[in-house]
Amino acid sequence: MYRFHSLVLFFFHSCLAFQQFSSITGYKRVIKKASVGTQKPISTWIPSTRPQSRPTRPTTPKPIDGPVVGPKDCEHGQYYAYPESCTHFLICVNNNLVLQQCGPGLNWNDKKSMCDWAFKNPCNDKPNKNSPLVMKDKTRNEPCIPGSFSEVPEDCASYHACLWGRHEKFSCAPGLHFNKQTHICDWPARAKCKAESEKPPIEPFNYITTSRPVKPTKNPITTTTQNWNEPWTEKPKPLPPPLINPSKVSPLSGHFKVVCYFTNWAWYRTGVGKYLPENIDHTLCTHIVYGFAVLDYSELTIRAHDSWADFDNRFYDRVVVYKQRGLKVLLALGGWNDSAGDKYSRLVNSPAARSKFIDHAVKFIEKYNFDGLDMDWEYPVCWQVECNKGPASDKEGFAALLRELSAQLKPRGLLLSSAVSPNKLVIDKGYDVPTLAKYLDWIAVMTYDYHGQWDKKTGHVAPLYHHEADDAYFFNANYSINYWISKGAPPRSIVMGMPLYGQAFSINDPSAGMGLNSPASGGTAGEFTKASGFLAYYEICDRIRNHGWKVYQDPQRRMGPYAYKGNQWVSFDDADMIRQKSQYIRDMGLGGGMVWALDLDDFRGRCGQGEHPLMHTIQQVLAEPPTSHDRPIRPPAFGESLEWLPSSPQKMPIHHQNFHKGQDEFKVVCYFTNWAWYRQEGGKYLPEDIDADLCTHVIYAFAVLDGSTGTIKPHDSWADIDNKFYERVVAYKAKGVKVLIGIGGWNDSAGDKYSRLVNSPSARARFISHVIQFIEKYGFEGLDLDWEYPVCWQVDCSKGPPSDKESFTSFVRELSDAFKPKGLLLSTAVSPSKRVIDAGYDVSELSKYFDWISVMTYDFHGQWDKKTGHVAPLYVRSDDWERTFNANFSINYWIEKGASPRKIVMGAPLYGQSFSLAERSQRGLNAPTYGGGEAGESTRARGFLAYYEICERTLKRGWTVIQDPDRRIGPYAYSGDQWVSFDDAEQIRLKAEFIKKMGLGGGMVWALDLDDFKNRCGCEPSPLLRTMNRVLRNYPPGPTCPISLPEDPTQSTVSPVTLENWPGSTSPSSSSTIDTEDTIEIEAGPPPPAAIPIGECQGRLFIPHKSDCSKYLICNFGQIQELSCPSGLHWNSDRCDWPENSKCKKNLQLVNSIESNNYLR
């Protein structure tokens, strides 16, 4: 009966999934040129209390994560083998070699200069047992509590995780130390680990010395704040040229520019995805643009975005050094995230601010030795594509800024460029094209991201020409380039953008087709880029080459290919389309080509096309100046209107969604939680994941009540304000969805603050005045009250005073009186418990003032009962120990107490309550338990599993599913001692039919992020919510997704039993009896492992499997059962272990007398 709203925070090794919005449509896109943000760093952990700014780093050098093994003439960022060790290697950091260790199961591969799978690179060297670098970890064999974390003595940058009762060693992300107080990887200043300074010096060997690095006489710059009134006297320290083959000469003549964006976050990726400045091939580019610096919000001056990369790891220096190879290196300012808000508008509209910025920018560029500045404000007037946000004066102000910048940069020989929108609407609103063309050295048109997951249907990321399947005739590179020219940009000033990545989708219904415009959501994140809806080219080509993805090519080559497998789909440009676009650049006489971004090409050559295959294609086409073999295309004249000529009809698989929303008879109220974006393992849920077609109302959960002022305030300002979650959810109003802010929730209802609020007339008046301002400020359309509960604080009816009941009614009445004249909505989430209803709610009065009342008809049972039970029964069962704990009773009781049926919205859970069984032999309802079930991989909360975690267990991991044949409750499932109850799609359908039959106001779900929104289980995205919409609204038909694999159910004989009729109850059939007895359930899943006859153990607890290294046998009470190790592990004597530690072979034969017993299968 309770709803727990908990934010489970955890740390992980590394994660930098940058997301943004489409430069074309204004909806979400992934990565592109804008993964920067000015508010917070993206780090490898999430603190329980998020700071408001990046932790201040000391001005002394940052401690190195591993033991420094001495200065040596090594190349910064390069990797070296460690003598006499297969599992260690050295990395050169600021001219010092640092010892690192490969992950478990990996060995150092000297040929590849990387850690590789052990079975591909067997270790034959025996390390020196006396070497301090390979000392035995004495804690490894000590017992530990599974899931716990502990420090590693004398190693600040590592930690122990307890896996299967044994300590395993892991490393924190670069720059972090393990904090033994909070058990997370943390900034060194917080971790306060002193072990590194206490380490004994490393024994010298061969060429490595023991001397420590010389302490610099001046502290290196580690912050981005400078006193610009003081002269800079310290010159940048010279770096050696990049490790480049001196004989490797670029074939690029320079007539056509090849502008390459370098991103300062790709180095955070793991494995083959890591991209460093040293990975740049100087022969492929004429210009490198370093992305990004950002605009300081207060000072309106340029500053570094990531000082850890830019300064501490000297990325500025390491990229600028390519000037020695003849390249021009510019610094980019802006990007998608940094373009949020009004700061760029304030800059360009103030002559004084422009002057200050220019003076500062020139000094910044010269200090760090860049060749110029690339302006990437997205976009003047149309802030982040919304043309109603910015003032019209932005257009003239931006032109003035470029004119004044050019006046200062050109005399110094510095370049000035800009990345601009390809969208006709933005071009018209935001750019004075002739002025831009006059003062910019080139204009980079971002002719990509025309389509993506924000469209809710498949589309090509970067069409070259229009095709009939496209919604907008101007969403293609050909139109965009010609439109820029027609508005006054000379062709030679234009550089055309090309993507080295693809936009990825998850098809809703693969059986309906896999072509363009198929209804879809964001695709599964890449294994290296880690961003939903986005794949680097090296991830795409690997899928095609090694994983059986099918490729579709447009016969007319108006766009690049798309590829698909299962429900996964991606559009991209291959080498042939890149060649065609490069030839288009030649034929149009443009200034050149631009790519986003270097780190996304197959720069390691993992797909057999050589290194940088797309970049080499551009190089081949654009190397030479114009020749007699070119086929020039006449560009449009200045001011010439463009005529749109549709392509000839072409048969292509196109699919359209047929969902026409009219006036909804029933509400579908969806809760959005502002903490689900912190989840990992596929559980991250962002505002852009909301499907507007599936909800009539979205409630943003939660704001909270300030205990001292009695006013509303954001719960998580980092998400709500800094990351603009309020704004990004409220944006769904444009699609016809009503968006309310919810206040309260389980955790915020603790204590007496809500009681103090409602029992004080002056406090109520102050709250109401403030909340209206709050709602109007952030654009919400109403308020959802979720105090749990009046009188019965957090269900304990002995805590609150009886006056809460009357005072809550007064509070609601006064809120309604203030809201209705302003057209604001007022709703509430209430308890389904008869006891709480009687004690806390004046139902008939509340029904007058609320627009709807959401009855939380779930959490009737959970781990707090100490026995199994169903999370959300629909009807009473004969074995229920509390016969009022079901939705049928609760809804009818609210109506009987005076609530109008049309005001009632019935809740449904998109999650399950899980339990750990006390006895595995007792696994039905009311079975004793010893606590909540094991936490889910994504939700990370004990006793709780999201539906997507449940369906993966039942469909992919062999959990047994039990169904009530008369559907009074949804199913439950179990495996071993784990047990979970939940509602599947069929139960949601029955509940929606109940809502219609009862004439209620609609249905409510908790919560959007808990449904299978990414279609992990292969039926359709958000199957439970879609099922509710199919019953209550005009939503297209689709499958009722199964929760278990098809299998003939066990047949049983049942006898009828009478169902108790509560006042006003509704039976599942027209009869008052249902034909069942609850002594037998139906098994829809696989049977449990068969037991082996008693007497076969012969005194052994564990027995290795005869033919499968991943399995083992365990003796339970004289019987042998077969169990499996977790994926990727092998059985090793008495535990599951890494394969290299196991002695198990595929042809393993048991050599004891057990072999004669014929029970090993």
pLDDT value for 141: 53
pLDDT value for 170: 80
pLDDT value for 197: 39
Please report whether residue 171 resides in a domain: yes
CA–CA dist 1038, 1046 (Å, integer): 18
pLDDT value for 233: 34
Tokens (6 digits) for 593: 């080509």
Please state, in angstroms and as integers, the Cα–Cα distance from residue 173 to each residue in 97, 100, 177, following that order.
18, 12, 8
Higher pLDDT, 1133 or 952: 952
Quick check: pTM over 0.75? no
The secondary structure of 630-692, three-state, reads CCCCCCCCCCCCCCCCCCCCCCCCECCCCCCCCCCCCEEEEEEECCHHHCCCCCCCCHHHCCH
pLDDT value for 150: 84
Over its C-alpha atoms, the chain yields an Rg (Å, rounded) of: 32
Indicate the angle between helix axes 613-622 and 575-588, nearest 10 degrees. Answer: 30
Domain identity same for 113 and 157: no
CA–CA dist 970, 963 (Å, integer): 7
Asked if residue 970 lies in contact with residue 857, where contact means CB atoms within 8 angstroms, the answer is: no
Please report whether residue 35 resides in a domain: no
pLDDT value for 54: 32
Among 191, 226, 248, the domain-final residue is 191
pLDDT (mean) for 1120-1129:
75
Q: What are phi and psi of 974, to 5 degrees?
A: -150, 160
Domain identity same for 611 and 694: no
CA–CA dist 55, 223 (Å, integer): 11
Give residue 225's pLDDT band: very low, low, confident or very high (50, 70, 90).
Answer: very low
Output DSSP code: residue 312.
I
Q: Is the pLDDT of residue 14 over 90?
A: no
CA–CA dist 449, 467 (Å, integer): 16
Query: For position 155, which CATH number holds?
Result: 2.170.140.10
Q: Residues 205-208: contacts with CB within 8 Å, 24+ apart?
A: 205/83, 206/83, 207/72, 208/69, 208/70, 208/72, 208/97
Residue 943 φ/ψ region, left for φ over 0, alpha for ψ in the -120 to 50 degree band, beta for the rest: left
Q: Is the pLDDT of residue 50 over 80?
A: no
CA–CA dist 570, 459 (Å, integer): 9
User: Is 494 strand, coil or helix?
Assistant: strand
Q: How far apart are the first and last CA of the chain?
A: 46
Contacts of 929 (CB under 8 A, 6+ apart): 863, 866, 867, 868, 915, 916, 917, 918, 979
pLDDT value for 163: 67
Cα–Cα–Cα angle for 185, 188, 189, rounded to 5 degrees: 125
Q: Choosing from 151, 781, 788, 1122, which is the catalytic residue?
A: 788
State pLDDT tens for residues 524-538: 999 999 999 999 999
Tokens 């709780």 label which residue?
A: 944
pLDDT value for 987: 97
pLDDT value for 826: 98
Which helix (H) or strand (E) segment holds residue 950: the answer is helix 947-956
Q: Is the pLDDT of residue 1114 over 50?
A: yes
Look at 608-617, 984-993, 1131-1140 and tell me which has the smallest mean pLDDT: 1131-1140
CA–CA dist 802, 785 (Å, integer): 19
Tokens 């780190």 label which residue?
A: 599
Which helix (H) or strand (E) segment holds residue 813: the answer is helix 803-819
Please report whether residue 377 resides in a domain: yes
Higher pLDDT, 1050 or 632: 632
State pLDDT tens for residues 673-690: 999 999 987 899 999 999
pLDDT value for 1104: 85
Higher pLDDT, 366 or 224: 366
pLDDT value for 589: 95
Query: For position 399, which CATH number holds?
Result: 3.20.20.80
Asked if residue 408 lies in contact with residue 362, where contact means CB atoms within 8 angstroms, the answer is: yes
User: Is 736 strand, coil or helix?
Assistant: coil
pLDDT value for 21: 38
The secondary structure of 584-628, three-state, reads HHHHHCCCEEEEECHHHCCCCCCCCCCCCHHHHHHHHHHCCCCCC
Higher pLDDT, 541 or 637: 541
The secondary structure of 388-433, three-state, reads CCCCCHHHHHHHHHHHHHHHHHHHHCCEEEEEECCCHHHHHHHCCH
Asked if residue 812 lies in contact with residue 853, where contact means CB atoms within 8 angstroms, the answer is: no
CA–CA dist 163, 149 (Å, integer): 10
Look at 476-485, 490-499, 637-646 and tell me which has the smallest mean pLDDT: 637-646
Tokens (6 digits) for 358: 């220019």
Tokens (6 digits) for 329: 């290196």
Give residue 215's pLDDT band: very low, low, confident or very high (50, 70, 90).
Answer: very low
pLDDT value for 86: 82
Q: Is the pLDDT of residue 470 over 80?
A: yes
Tokens 């449509």 label which residue?
A: 25
Asked if residue 98 lies in contact with residue 87, where contact means CB atoms within 8 angstroms, the answer is: no
Please report whether residue 655 resides in a domain: no
Domain that holds residue 181: 148-191
Give residue 55's pLDDT band: very low, low, confident or very high (50, 70, 90).
Answer: very low
Please report whether residue 391 resides in a domain: yes
The length of the chain in residues reads 1161
CA–CA dist 650, 655 (Å, integer): 14
Q: Is the pLDDT of residue 1078 over 80?
A: no
CA–CA dist 659, 668 (Å, integer): 15
- Exposed / middle / buried, residue 183 (Cβ in 10 Å: 0-12, 13-18, 19+): middle
Please report whether residue 24 resides in a domain: no
Look at 263-267, 357-361, 1140-1144 and tell me which has the smallest mean pLDDT: 1140-1144
Q: Is the pLDDT of residue 751 over 80?
A: yes
Average pLDDT, the chain: 81
User: Is 788 a known active-site residue?
Assistant: yes
Residue among 940, 962, 941, 961 nearest 951 (CA):
961
Asked if residue 178 lies in contact with residue 151, where contact means CB atoms within 8 angstroms, the answer is: yes
The secondary structure of 951-1008, three-state, reads HHHHHHCCCEEEECCCCCCCCEEEECCEEEECCCHHHHHHHHHHHHHHCCCEEEEECH
CA–CA dist 893, 1065 (Å, integer): 9
Give residue 263's pLDDT band: very low, low, confident or very high (50, 70, 90).
Answer: very high
pLDDT value for 131: 34
pLDDT (mean) for 1135-1144:
76
Pairing of strands 1102-1104, 1082-1083: unpaired
Domain identity same for 891 and 837: yes
* Edge-to-edge strands, sheet with 1119-1124: 1102-1104, 1111-1116, 1119-1124
Domain identity same for 696 and 825: yes
Pairing of strands 960-963, 149-152: unpaired
Domain identity same for 406 and 276: yes
State pLDDT tens for residues 291-308: 999 999 999 999 999 999
Which residues face 97 on adjacent strands?
92
Look at 656-670, 724-738, 1052-1066 and tell me which has the smallest mean pLDDT: 1052-1066
Cα-Cα-Cα-Cα torsion 515, 517, 520, 526, nearest 10 degrees, comes to 60
Which residues face 341 on adjacent strands?
none
Domain identity same for 672 and 716: yes
State pLDDT tens for residues 863-918: 999 999 999 999 999 889 999 999 999 999 999 999 999 999 999 999 999 999 99
pLDDT value for 277: 96
pLDDT (mean) for 609-637:
84
pLDDT (mean) for 706-716:
95
State pLDDT tens for residues 314-372: 999 999 999 999 999 999 999 988 999 999 999 999 999 999 999 999 999 999 999 99
Contacts of 314 (CB under 8 A, 6+ apart): 76, 94, 239
Domain identity same for 766 and 830: yes
Which residues face 177 on adjacent strands?
186
Q: Is the pLDDT of residue 403 over 50?
A: yes
State pLDDT tens for residues 99-115: 787 876 688 887 777 88
pLDDT value for 46: 32
pLDDT (mean) for 843-862:
97
Asked if residue 767 lies in contact with residue 808, where contact means CB atoms within 8 angstroms, the answer is: no
Domain identity same for 400 and 467: yes
Domain identity same for 813 and 911: yes
Output DSSP code: residue 127.
P
CA–CA dist 746, 1006 (Å, integer): 13
Look at 126-140, 721-735, 796-810, 1125-1139 and tell me which has the smallest mean pLDDT: 126-140
pLDDT value for 1006: 98
Look at 586-590, 706-710, 1087-1091 and tell me which has the smallest mean pLDDT: 1087-1091
Q: How many domains does the chain have?
A: 5
User: Is 1091 strand, coil or helix?
Assistant: coil
Q: Which residues in 710-803 belong to E strands, given as ranges?
A: 712-714, 738-744, 782-786
pLDDT (mean) for 548-552:
94
Domain identity same for 173 and 314: no
CA–CA dist 1050, 965 (Å, integer): 11
Q: Is the pLDDT of residue 1140 over 80?
A: no
Please report whether residue 221 resides in a domain: no
Percent of the chain having pLDDT more than 90? 61
Domain identity same for 432 and 488: yes
Tokens 């009357």 label which residue?
A: 806
pLDDT value for 555: 87
Residue 823's CB is within 10 A of a number of other CB atoms, namely 8
Residue type, 1008: L
CA–CA dist 436, 441 (Å, integer): 9
Look at 76-85, 152-161, 689-698, 736-745 and tell me which has the smallest mean pLDDT: 76-85
Q: What are phi and psi of 402, to 5 degrees?
A: -65, -40
Higher pLDDT, 250 or 199: 250
Which helix (H) or strand (E) segment holds residue 765: the answer is helix 761-778
Please report whether residue 1083 resides in a domain: no
Tokens 């829809």 label which residue?
A: 1084
Domain identity same for 1013 and 932: yes
pLDDT (mean) for 54-62:
32
Tokens (6 digits) for 818: 């203030």
pLDDT value for 642: 62
pLDDT value for 130: 37
Residue among 790, 776, 801, 886 nearest 838 (CA):
790
Residue among 678, 1049, 1065 nearest 890 (CA):
1065
